[in-house]
Structure 1
Amino acid sequence: MDPITELLAEVLEEIRPRDAGAPADYIPELASADPDLLAFSVVGPRGRVRSVGDDHAEFTIQSISKPFVLALALAEKGRDAVLGRVGAEPSGEPFNAISLEPVTGRPANPMINAGAIATSALIPGDDVDDRTARIVDMLSAFAGRSLWVDEAVYASESLTGERNRALAHLLKSHAVIDGPVDVAVETYFRQCSLLVTVRDLAVMAATLAFGGVNPVTGRRVVDERVARDVLSIMSSCGMYDYSGEWLLRVGLPAKSGVSGGLMAVAPSQFGVAAFSPRLDTHGNSVRAVALVEEASERFGMHLLEPHESVASPALSLHGDDTARVVRLGGELGYAGAERIVAILRDVAGGLPEDVPVTVDARELGRTHPGALVALRSEFEDLPNWIWLSE
């Protein structure tokens, strides 16, 4: 067992004795879940899936489908069209609350049920099957394997889903959703009934972490801006009325589901997922929350921690007084560009004017626009300097 997997196993066993909470009981099929199931998984930039516990146990994705259907809506319709039907503000209320704007009827955000129904209604398709097929294709691409609907859970959700139908009728009355209410609601029920494992959720989270590229398959699933928009909303709305405290304690965009799943995203680092059916009063898994909180602390994944590598990108100097090469690596943001410019000025000041200097940027993983502006202005005053980027 490698050191990271050992650490995951250690955290899992520390959390295992906790037995607070109970499986969701308002959907009969979820109430029968084994409350002792527990799993934890992490996926890094090279696509290696590390998991411990009951990592092959299947459960329905439930509300964790919401960020990925949002991604599909953003990809299909664009940000402005989506925001015309659903907001991006934290509701501060439970997941099934009637959080609608007083005049427009627009739901507070896509992570609560009303907003998720409005988002699902934006997916093109003539009927429930067409829309579901598009959603399944998208979520399967995020997971890196084919997913399918648990028909028993879907039937249970549909049978007991009158509150969601009521929300949909309210949305329809405000013209937030087009078309038949039953198509919007049944599509939503089916997306929530997709079967996943904790390994799937970790891969899906990692795909968001790496700008929409699935690190396991290497496939670009959505545009980088779509992934960024989804993570932005997850960071403030993904944990319902616990979202503020979650951001304080864990510091990661996250989404929970009432079957006991939880996924979190450490941008450019990891996708993390946990599973345990026992829920707290917010509808979040008690042990999954504890697992991810502990992992964030041990792995240093809090989004608002300082990251020196952004301000100090990798840099090395080579050559002599007849020619110099400056090699850059890592990520180059605006703050890092300031450091690079200062070093380039020092190098230029110590060399004769006719000595060529090559800046080799081929190993840079990412260069931000502001950094390019800073470097370009510097190079205008250095005629003997060469920039290599390919």
Structure 2
Amino acid sequence: MDSDPVADALTSVLDDLRDQDDGELAAENAVDAPESDLFALVLVGPFGDVHAAGDADHRFTVQSISKAFAFALALQSHGRDAVFERVGLEPTGEPFHAISVEPETGRPANPMINAGAITTTSMAPGGDADAKVDALLSFMSRCAGRDLAVDEDVAAAESESSDRNRGLAYVLASHGALACPVDVALDAYFRQCAVRVDARDVATMAATLAFGGRNPVTGEQVMDAAVARDAVSVMASCGMYDASGEWAARVGLPAKSGVSGGITAVDPSEFGVAAFSPRLDAVGNSTRGVRALEELSHRFGLHMFADRPETSAPLVNLEHEDDRTVVRLQGHIGFGTAVQVAHRMREEAREGRAVALDMSDADRLDDACGTILRRVAEELYAEISD
């Protein structure tokens, strides 16, 4: 059973947008020199099912996507009060490298801008940069479900060309905002941003946040549910730089972008998703990545503020009748539910059961979601017929 209708749906989004080629490569990509036409979408569901489309295996540096996880690690290690004493939670409407600190306290505005991320990185466990990087790398690896590594060449190149970040760090230190010396915080920060990932990794990292800190691929509870909630909350308001407000209106998924072209987004309790395409818009977000996730949200009704009656009532019942399983659907069947139902139907089929899909009590079925379920049902029927 090689066909994956969810991956096919992701591929259709990529195909519709592949000809759009505006945007520029970031200076941070000079060491990687990626092909500008690379394009990927990956979704990870609640059962650890990975649905990949496009260039999902291409490795890139995580860059600012790491900020969400440095924030989460600081929360996990020190608790909310200690973290919020050093960093704020408010969006700035300014570029990510702006000097956005409170005049009285020196707190950076939020953990998703450079000043805030340097601060939360300084709070990583460990007394020196190597120990802090080990803690950050271990945490991100557990979220990704595999061992990640730092690209030391990229880290060194960024260190040599980051006078602005050094200036930010000294401003923070002058206010007592950092939890360690400037050089230690900066070394850890540059290396944190240079961790190598692919779209599968960052989609799994997003899914770990989506499911209350539990990695759905490995089953490990990586962080407390409250920590994941706080990280997702700040991603919702601040994760897309000074385009966060427009993103919230157009896409409606908590997200974090990076200047290497990655975007990771969260649909809480439903899935994590990642887009990758290296050309960037004027504020530093992937041009095609933004459009791909906007189209995905529009096509499958994913906006977090959209009407979602399916969250208030049970939707899926599995009834076992001898060697047959009847999957009965009720209420509004959205994309996340369709992904779960498709997975359950396949699992029942692998157990040797005939599978029947009863949608007679579904009062609302989004067209694209219905296509996924029909595809799975047709494939299972074809296998039985063969």
TM-score normalised over the length of structure 2: 0.80
1:37 aligns with 2:38: yes
Provide the residue aligned with 2:16 in structure 1.
14
Residues 1:190 and 1:306: Cα distance change in structure 2 (over 3 Å): same
How big is each residue's C-alpha offset from its partner over 1:280-318, in whole Å with a ceiling of 9 and x where there is no partner?
0010000011111111112221111122133334699xx
Give runs of aligned pairs for residues 287-298 of structure 1, distance below 5 A.
287-298=288-299
Larger Rg: 1
What does residue 24 of structure 1 align with?
26
Deviations 1:187-245 (A, max 9, x none): 00000000000010110001111111000001100011000000110000000100000
- Which SS does the other structure have where 2:43 is aligned? strand
Does residue 131 of structure 2 align to residue 130 of structure 1? Answer: yes
* Cα distance in 2, alignment partners of residues 201 and 83 from structure 1: 26
What is the count of residue pairs matched by the alignment? 317
Q: Distance in 2 between matches of 1:7 and 1:76?
A: 39
SS at match of 1:263: strand
Q: Is residue 201–residue 273 contact of structure 1 (8 Å, CA) maintained in 2?
A: yes
SS in 2 for 1:29: coil
Contact 1:27–1:156 (Cα < 8 Å) also in 2: no
Residues 347-386 of structure 1 mapped to structure 2, 5 A cutoff: none
How many angstroms apart in 2 are the aligned matches of 1:140 and 1:314?
A: 34
CA distance in 1, matches of 2:240, 2:302: 17
Shift of 1:27: 6.0
> Bigger shift: 176-185 or 241-250?
176-185
> Percent identity between the aligned chains?
56
Which 4+ stretches in 1 moved above 6 angstroms? none
Structure 1 equivalent of residue 335 of structure 2:
none
SS in 1 for 2:137: helix
Q: In structure 1, what is the equivalent of residue 248 of structure 2?
A: 247
> Given residue 87 of structure 1, which amino acid in structure 2 is its aligned partner?
G
Residues 250 and 179 of structure 1: is their aligned pair in 2 closer, same or farther, counting only changes over 3 Å? Answer: same
Q: Distance in 1 between matches of 2:11 and 2:179?
A: 48
For 2:63, the equivalent position in structure 1 comes to: 62
2: CA distance, partners of 1:315 / 1:233: 32
Question: In the alignment, which residue of structure 2 is the partner of 1:220?
Answer: 221
Report SS of the residue matched to 1:178.
Answer: coil
Pairs within 5 Å for 1:262-273: 262-273=263-274
2:272 matches 1:259 = no
Q: What is the alpha-carbon distance in structure 1 between the residues aligned to residue 100 and residue 279 of structure 2?
A: 26
Q: Distance in 1 between matches of 2:19 and 2:129?
A: 42
Residues in 1 aligned to 2:264 and 2:240: alpha-carbon distance in whole angstroms: 10
Determine the structure 1 residue equivalent to 2:49: 48
Alpha-carbon distance change, 197 to 315 in structure 1, aligned in 2, over 3 angstroms: closer
Contact residue 4 and residue 51 of structure 2 kept, 8 A? no
Q: Is the 8 A contact 1:144 1:216 kept in 2?
A: yes
Map 1:304-319 onto structure 2 (within 5 A). Answer: 304-313=305-314
1:103 and 2:104 are equivalent in the alignment: yes
Conserved 8 A contact 1:26-1:160: no
Q: Distance in 2 between matches of 1:130 and 1:108?
A: 26
User: Could you tell me how far 1:136 is from its partner in structure 2?
Assistant: 0.3
Query: Counterpart of 2:182 in structure 1: which amino acid?
Result: V
Query: Is the contact made by 1:263 and 1:272 (CA closer than 8 Å) also made in structure 2?
Result: yes
1:113-144 alpha-carbon deviations (Å, 9 max, x no partner):
00000000111212110000000000000000
Deviations, residues 44-77 of structure 1 (Å, cap 9, x unaligned): 1111111111111000000000111111100000
Q: Find the residue that maps to 1:298 and give its secondary structure.
A: helix
Letter in 2 for 1:213: R
CA RMSD of aligned residues (A): 1.6
Structure 2: distance between partners of 1:97 and 1:108: 10
The whole-number CA distance in structure 2 between the counterparts of 1:136 and 1:307 is: 36
Of 307-316 and 92-101, the range deviating more from structure 2: 307-316
Residue 300 (structure 1) aligns with: 301
Measured in 2, the distance between the counterparts of 1:78 and 1:184 equals 19
Q: Structure 2 CA distance, aligned partners of 1:41 and 1:104?
A: 41
| Pair 1:4 & 2:6 matched | yes
Matches of 2:75 and 2:52, distance apart in 1 = 31
For 2:76 and 2:309, how far apart are their aligned partners in 1?
Answer: 33
- 2:28–2:259: 8 Å Cα contact kept in structure 1? no
Deviation of residue 103 (structure 1)?
A: 1.2
The alpha carbon displacement at 1:86 in A equals 0.3
1:180-219 counterparts in 2 under 5 A? Answer: 180-219=181-220
